[in-house]
Amino acid sequence: MDAWWQCEVPYPFVPQEILNATDSVRASLPNRYCDPKVAADLFEEVIDEFLLCDDLGLNVLAVEHHAGINSLLGANPVLVGILARQTRQVRILSLGTLISLRKDPVRVAEEYATADVISRGRLEIGFVKSGGSEMASNNANPVNNIERYWEAIDLIKKALSHHDGPFSWEGKHFTHRHVNIWPRPWQQPHPRMWSATGDPETAAEVGRRGLVHVLVLRGPDGTKRAYAAHRKARAEAGLPKVTTDNFAYAAFVYVGDTDEEGLRVGSKLLWFLHTSLKSAPQYSKFLPGNAPPEAAPQVYRTAPRPGAGTGAMTAQQNAARLTSISAEQAMAQGILFAGNPDSVYKQVMEFYDKVGGFGHLSLVGRSGFMTHAESEKSIRLFSKEVLPRLREIKPVTAE
């Protein structure tokens, strides 16, 4: 198993009374509450943490989110470029430029090819569907978001792997008549690609395309279902079976010297769920395209009637459930792995067994008010005490 350190660079320093008074901590909270000097300090700490990971052999992962306290990484390619140059040995996963929000996938391919070359072939490219408040922040039509997602992936893949002079793309959402990027990527035909998704339809397509499939904070049941949809779609398409290396899981992780310390400091990560998910109804339950119209009886009413709608949990309902979760519940649900190194290893492996195995663990390792020193301690303990044991777990063909 491989492991990846991620920090979304949250900005928790907005006064609580402001957060209480606003209907959304994303998209519409004025940026006057973001002090650039504080933001600079945060970036410096977080980039230093990524460099510590590089020293210790723990891969790094850069996300992208827009216009909210949950993350200052609206410009993911900037961080990826820094990591490409400043790290020296680990692999770098961009998870990722939010491609359905960007007008020009060819430009995204240029950025990725450049970062791959600068890092001499250490880049991995992840795709995330985006949604919610980011549709407003980026003027992106939420209704056909998923179509843009797949078309952008197709175009990026072709731009990275086509080396015979300009080609033309006249798709439904993107047109670019003269695509010929320089440099081409270091890795051939292109860096490995990932996709983050939980819903069964997208999971099936991720399977057919053979992308590394990452589930974020989904817990064992949702994760197992998504992996199963991935495998089933491959089988139905007559494609070869994949190994556990095709599957990844992202959870909050904190390693302390003791279980008490691990849990106490690790609990700080839940700020992400408790505080940074608050989103106004127009960016969530009433966002067109967010859930199929058939789900409206469940979603639109203030209190859903029993038995109404389709029965599946919507993204909002999942978010609402997470907003009030306790550390103990988060641990029980496989969202938080925290404790001393032995405990964390044990928790990861219990989860591994529940979902039928995965080849990549992503550590959402710093969030909320966790300090730089606390983060570095967890990075060191994880890298030295947990990672070597996880590395022993070799990919197996998933059934």
Partner 1 sequence: MSTGHIVGGIDLEVLRRGAGRPVLVLHGMQPVDPRAPFLEMLGRHAEIIAPSHPGFGRSARPKDFETVYDLVHFYLEFLDSLPHEKLTLMGFSFGGWLAAELAVKCRHRLDGLVLVDAFGIKVSDRETPDILDVFNTSPQEVERRSWHDPETWTPDLDSLSDEELVIRARSWEALCLYGWNPYMYNPQLKRWLRRITVPTLVVWGASDRIVKPAYGREYSALISGSRFELIERAGHHPEIEQAAAFVDTVVKFLTR
Name which of 143 and 332 has its Cβ closer to partner 1: 143
* Binding mask of the shown chain, residues 8 to 27, with x at each position contacting partner 1 by CB under 8 A: ---------------x---x
CB within 8 Å of 338: residues ≥ 6 apart: 252, 253, 254, 255, 256, 262, 263, 265, 266, 267, 327, 331, 344, 347
β-pair partners for 212: 194
Residue of 302, 373, 392, 399 interacting with partner 1 (CB under 8 A): 302
Termini Cα distance of the chain: 17
Decide: is 7 part of the binding site for partner 1 (CB under 8 A).
no
Distance CA 365, CA 362 (A): 9
Binding footprint of partner 1, residue count (CB under 8 A): 30
- Rounded to 5 degrees, φ, ψ at 170 are -125, 80
Min separation Cβ 132 and partner 1, Å:
12
Decide: is 339 part of the binding site for partner 1 (CB under 8 A).
no
Min separation Cβ 282 and partner 1, Å:
6
Min separation Cβ 291 and partner 1, Å:
8
**C-beta of residue 268 within 8 angstroms of C-beta of residue 256:** no
Min separation Cβ 123 and partner 1, Å:
32
Element (H, E) at 93: strand 92-95
Name which of 74 and 304 has its Cβ closer to partner 1: 304
- Name the DSSP class of 140: -
CB within 8 Å of 20: residues ≥ 6 apart: none
SS3 content of the chain, % helix, strand, coil (to 5): 45, 15, 40
CB within 8 Å of 243: residues ≥ 6 apart: 359, 395, 396, 397, 398
**C-beta of residue 303 within 8 angstroms of C-beta of residue 217:** no
HSE-CB for 340 with a 13 A CA cutoff: 5
Residue of 39, 296, 315, 393 interacting with partner 1 (CB under 8 A): 296
Name which of 309 and 339 has its Cβ closer to partner 1: 309
Residue of 41, 294, 350, 353 interacting with partner 1 (CB under 8 A): 294
Reduced to 3 states (helix: H, G, I; strand: E, B; else coil), residue 100 is coil
* Binding mask of the shown chain, residues 272 to 291, with x at each position contacting partner 1 by CB under 8 A: --------xxxx--xxxx-x
Name which of 53 and 299 has its Cβ closer to partner 1: 299
Q: Which residue has the tokens 């400091």?
A: 265
Distance CA 273, CA 322 (A): 6
Decide: is 301 part of the binding site for partner 1 (CB under 8 A).
yes
Name which of 194 and 283 has its Cβ closer to partner 1: 283
Min separation Cβ 122 and partner 1, Å:
37
Residue of 60, 108, 128, 136 interacting with partner 1 (CB under 8 A): 136
Name which of 99 and 115 has its Cβ closer to partner 1: 99
Name which of 378, 364, 367 is nearest 6 in CA terms: 364
Residue of 15, 165, 168, 172 interacting with partner 1 (CB under 8 A): 172
Q: Cα-Cα-Cα-Cα dihedral of 334, 338, 344, 348, to 10°?
A: 20
Min separation Cβ 69 and partner 1, Å:
18
* Binding mask of the shown chain, residues 191 to 230, with x at each position contacting partner 1 by CB under 8 A: ----------------------------------------
Binding site for partner 1 (CB under 8 A): 23, 27, 136, 139, 141-144, 172, 280-283, 286-289, 291, 293-297, 299-303, 308-309
